[in-house]
């Protein structure tokens, strides 16, 4: 007789294998993670998954066009007219699986593998630059600190970035050095980046029960902070809903459909419709 716990895990195992079998590209990794993340989206308006959020490296300098773009951002829209329009619970930076992850070995069996550590070490510094840009743009819910998830194939590691000193916020590790960055801080950062890989104290596999519990802990940690955002957004939208916009002919309730709708809103209707779309696609507003 098949153990019922194992039987229930089989669909999750099959989904996780999509991130390792046949050398999938990074876009498959995103989709697999979103599928698992969706299991936590109750109620519908609990959070929004924002693809390719553009974070300016110097948000106060209009002429500076440098951007950091996490693969996925999980958070909530703010009320109409409030900036920034999106508050970040955590970011996600993802890479395709490496050879050591084929076959979905238990996390405990590869957590100390040097190739695995090197991969996450490199990803850490790319995500760190994104976190700095998010903090400077006042996107994180927690102000000077922000959670990030480093995702390689179906394996992930949570990290917390910040608080950073003013000098640390001027330097980046992954891209070309900033001429305005503090030089000594840049030297220290480069030494860390080019040094021995950081040890891993935690490693999660998406299809494991422990992974579900850990991800739920991360999301739940900011639920209380986002509830006022949800309430304020709903109140502002309900007061404007009469005649505000017509319902589209067809909604595609998926991350990709959401992204298309967002891009269309940005190009054609502006910020207010963009925010409305976030609620419409969560299934909360019926126009």
More confident residue, 44 or 245: 44
Whether 278 shows a pLDDT value over 80: the answer reads no
pLDDT given for residue 2 in this prediction? 30
**How does pLDDT run across 20-70, given as a tens digit for each residue?**
998 899 999 999 999 999 999 998 889 999 999 999 999 988 888 889 999
Q: What's the rounded mean pLDDT across residues 217-230? A: 94
Least confident interval from 40-49, 74-83, 100-109, 174-183: 174-183
260-274 average pLDDT score: 43
pLDDT reported for residue 80: 76
pLDDT-above-90 percentage for the chain? 56
> Does 284 or 39 have the greater pLDDT score?
39
Quick one: average pLDDT of 67-84? Answer: 91
| Confidence at 143, pLDDT banded by 50, 70, 90 | confident
User: So what's the pLDDT on residue 255?
Assistant: 39
Is pLDDT at 228 greater than 60 in this prediction? Answer: yes
More confident residue, 235 or 6: 235
Residue range 9-18: average pLDDT? 85
pTM, to two decimals: 0.80
- Whether residue 180 is predicted with pLDDT greater than 50 in this model: the reply is yes
SS (H, E, C) the chain: CCCHHHHHHHHHHHHHHCCCCCCCCHHHHHHHHHHHHHHHCCCHHHCEEEECCCEECCCCCCCCCCEECCCEEEEEECCCCCCCCEEEEEEEEEECCCHHHCCCCCHHHHCCCHHHHHHHHHHHHHHHHHHHHHHHCCCECCCCCEEEEEEECCEEEEEEECCCCCCHHHCCCCCCCCCCCCHHHHHHHHHHHHCCCCCCCCCEECCCHHHHHHHHHHHHCCHHHHHHHHHHHHHHHHHHCCCCCCCCCCCCCCHHHHHHHHHHHHHHHCHHHHHHHHHHCCCCCCC
Q: What is the pLDDT of residue 63?
A: 86
Evaluate if residue 212 carries a pLDDT over 80: yes
Domain boundaries, the chain: 4-163+198-235, 245-287
Q: Looking at residue 246, what is its pLDDT?
A: 46
Which CATH architecture best describes the domain 4-163+198-235? Alpha-Beta Complex (3.90)
> For residue 191, what pLDDT is reported?
86
Whether the per-residue pLDDT at 273 is higher than 50: the answer is: no
Q: How confident is the model at residue 194 (pLDDT cuts 50, 70, 90)?
A: confident
Model pLDDT, residue 172: 87
Compute the average pLDDT of residues 208-232: 94
């Amino acid at each position: 007789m098949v153990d019922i716990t194992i039987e229930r895990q089989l669909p999750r195992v099959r989904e996780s294998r999509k991130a390792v079998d046949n050398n999938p590209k990074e876009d498959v990794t995103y989709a697999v993670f979103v599928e698992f993340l969706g299991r936590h989206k109750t109620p519908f308006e609990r959070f929004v998954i924002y693809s390719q959020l553009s974070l300016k490296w110097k948000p106060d300098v209009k002429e500076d066009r440098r951007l950091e773009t996490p693969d996925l951002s999980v958070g909530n829209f703010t009320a109409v007219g409030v900036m920034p329009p999106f508050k970040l619970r955590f970011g996600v930076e993802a890479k395709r699986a490496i050879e050591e992850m084929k076959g979905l070995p238990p996390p405990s069996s590869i957590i100390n593998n040097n190739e695995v550590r090197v991969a996450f070490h490199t990803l850490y510094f790319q995500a760190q630059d994104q976190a700095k840009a998010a903090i400077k743009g006042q996107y994180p819910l927690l102000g000077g600190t922000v959670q990030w998830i480093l995702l390689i194939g179906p394996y992930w590691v949570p990290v917390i970035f910040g608080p950073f000193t003013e000098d640390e916020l001027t330097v980046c590790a992954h891209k070309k050095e900033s001429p305005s960055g503090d030089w000594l801080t840049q030297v220290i950062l480069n030494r860390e980046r080019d040094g021995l890989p950081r040890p891993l104290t935690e490693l999660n596999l998406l299809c494991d029960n422990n992974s579900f519990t850990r991800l739920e802990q991360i999301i739940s940690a900011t639920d209380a902070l986002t509830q006022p955002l949800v309430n304020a957004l709903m109140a502002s939208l309900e007061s404007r809903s009469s005649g505000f916009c017509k319902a589209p002919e067809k909604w595609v309730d998926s991350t990709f459909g959401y992204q298309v709708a967002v891009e269309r809103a940005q190009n054609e209707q502006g910020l207010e419709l963009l925010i409305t779309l976030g609620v419409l696609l969560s299934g909360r507003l019926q126009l």
